[in-house]
Chain A
Amino acid sequence: MGKKLTLNQIIEALSDEAYIPKTKSQEFINSLIEITLAEINSKGKATITNFGSFTIVEVAERTGVNPKSGDPLIIPAHKRISFTPYKALEKKVNVEFDHLEATVVSADSSKTTETFSDAIKQEPSNESERLLDALISDKKQPEEALNESFEDNPFNFSEDDEPENTDSEIPEIDAIDELNTDADETIEEFTEDSNTESKAFKTPGRPERKSNSISPTVLLSVLAVFLIGVLAIWFFFLRSSEPTTTTAAADTENILNDPSAFENEQVLNDVSDANRNEGSETEESESQIIPMIAADVDLSENQGEVMSIENQEPQIEYERFTGISYSVNSGVWIYEISRQTYGNTRLWPLIFQANYTLANNPDLILPNIELNIPQLEGSTSKLTSNDYTRLAEAARYVAQAYENAGNADQAVAYQKAANWYETMR
């Protein structure tokens, strides 16, 4: 699906973005591919950092079908290169569906498709799932929920037993007995927990050591996020009263980065994530009874405030950027101004277009006391399509200015840049 990009377009894009001649960018790409290939051949694997890694995989012999004649055909064992994208690339590509999360399949739908042996293995976990679901969604009495699932179990087994296994009934019964005792144990555990109102939420049916190791980390993470949130708010209110908004913005940026990094560490896989969510939700419901964990309820409010800080951030940036007077000395590059204001040198054509005429040489800009810095619709790292349109216009403008100044090479380069920005829309 989607468009295909030719190698030439990549080479041109690289030369435009990195400000290097086309020949150099071609040489660069070729040598990078050469090195990667040599490494695959010599070591069996290679990586392009931040992009992905290649490994040689052995494929076993298998029988296929000749698509033309329909005859069976033996595909001999062979080697193949497999590509694994870096997390960063994976995330960048998957932005559209990033909000979706893995969900546990409801016990009823999975039971119908399972064989009997599977049912034995999966019964405890299904039970726990239903328990959790019932607890979280309906906030039923735990005893009720337990009884429900407990009554279901023997019923299912007796149903499955009759048609399939008549010879080996004794081990089957044993299994049921074990399961029943298991269920008894879980009931005891569960009621004990709810009575003593301990913070650790034990999930019945799961191995005990697992649940013990999960609950402290959940608590720790909740506490840490809460602390960071309080610190962030404190910093924000303390510094925002001072005239220098730049340091405040920088500080909040740092702090806002921290929780996200912390959360990334926590979210090691979907399952632990799901566990954590369930854990925190149940904790919140418990905290209505226990004043000790009342802080957790505050946490959600704090997170809301942190979010609002995040939303305010771009506005602070714009206040910083617009209407600032730059006394441009001769010798100050316009790139430098772009870097100081937008945080990226590539956006300087916007400043040039807003402040200078086509008669100016972009390389020798005249002192202009009040430089008007145009606002971006998006942010520097995430430009919107309108921003790209404006950038393309600005780049054309710069190209024209370079042509007027007699710098044909740069004019061509910026014309290409303009085309490139148009494709990015």
Chain B
Amino acid sequence: MELQTNLRRIILAELLVPLALFIFGAYHGVLQTMYLSGVIRATSVAGIDYYQGLTAHGVINAIVLTTFFAVALGYTVVSQELKSRVSIAGAALSLALMLLGAVMAAAMIFLGKASVLYTFYPPLMAHPLFYVGLVLFIVGSWVPLWTWIPVYLRWRKENRGWKTPMGVVGILATFTVWQMATLPVAVEVLVQLLPWSLGWTHGINVMLSRTLFWFFGHPLVYFWLLPTYVMYYTMLPKLAGGKLFSDFAGRFTFMALILLSCPLGLHHQFADPGISTTSKGIQGVLTLLVAIPSLLTAFTLAASLEYAARQRGGKGLFGWWSKLPYFNPENWLFPYLFCGLLIFLFGGITGIVNASYSMNNVVHNTAWIPAHFHLTVGGPIFLGILGGSLFIVTGLLKKPVVSGTMAMIVPYLWMGGTFIFSSGLFMGGLRGEPRRTNLGLTYMNPASPSYRSDWWVPAHMGLVGGCIMGFAVLLYFIVLIRSLAAASDAAASKAPFSLPTSEPYHDEDVPAVRNFTPWVVAAVLLCAAAYYVPIRDIAKNGITTAPGFRPDSPAAVNTTH
């Protein structure tokens, strides 16, 4: 079945608009590696301040690009797999709110009114419209789930006894996590930040706002990851020429992530005052439990790839590795997912380091952290978005990919770049190099008393890696633009577009992973249990409220009128 015409248009906008914004995100990413290594020793380049550009890099790449892609993939999967029409009004409303919000936030950033980074930690204070933009964007991203639920329930009624398609389970899990995770940050923005930035309130409880932010901030990473998991479980085995090794593993993973995504944000606050070690420890344990579905995913995907390789004639204990379609321009999407998976091995392992409680003392807020997340959100997730967007955009427009070879090279280049970039930042982080700091002016400036010669090698590895990553993005945009400019493919125009869908190899029926309700209820209860004590402690300790500060002055903002 072909997707509804208007839905196709909406999906195209959801994919192409953020990609256009991402051109700046990527440009400034490369620029940051130059600032950090001291190649650029300035506060700004071309009128954009380092911290302003860094805010844009974070907001565009980590919030706007990822969320739009999740919504676009969600509409494609739900519509295709349930063979159902979805609400166009809902989809249009969601797109409008998200676009408006993204434009407002981006405008405030580019006007220099919101250089507060994407974590917007108060008491740094941005322009109220920045916060309004974020709220509109988030509310817009809530709409799709509520329009999919009736479609899903109708499908269940009409297809009693049938398993819900894996992709739909994954997408509903993605947006369930998003709905739970974004409520606290919406409260933070609407109750704390917005009135305070408008001057209606004069102080803010900073520990409370940090805690509400990280209640959202960590599940956010699973929200990034889940659409990629959908592609891994439903598309990768098929693209490799095989089947999904374990249907149970996929369904269990999605349900487990609903349960465990939220009650563990405190592991971002291990270094914070005002929260007891007991509360931190409990969420530390919960954090490590999330590794179970991720490890299971790694094993299952490896087994699926092995199965595919053996179908292609692969032999021996390790010999089968050579039989996968690594360099096939016709199957250019495979390396996007495969390279992402390889990168994620290291992203996952270093994530376990971050989560390992007292180990956080060594790495917290150092360059180690961006090194880690460029192997997660900047690795499998980003490659999934690039590959998925190119596949869906060209598929919906019935256009050929020009050229498949060039498209195929992008993920390998990107992987090489991220490995060099992240190795440098890991090394720097262990030597105390801070993240999100314009190092070139001081720490990477031999003329400064703060100069750190031992950060030179790490920072320059970041530079080399960053430039390779930038080059990969450039190639990608050449492919995308050439493909968009190409004439429609006459042969492809006849067949309806669809995403590749893998069949299961082992297809047991485990009722426990076939019903969302108990997992959602358990998740809500677990969140309440994990957060009751720390939030009570923060309230009880009578922590004084803080006035606002602009990033360019140590004098508090006078919000009295």
Co-complex (A, B): no
Q: Which residues of A are at the interface with B, using a C-beta cutoff of 8 A? A: none
Q: Which residues of B are at the interface with A, using a C-beta cutoff of 8 A? A: none
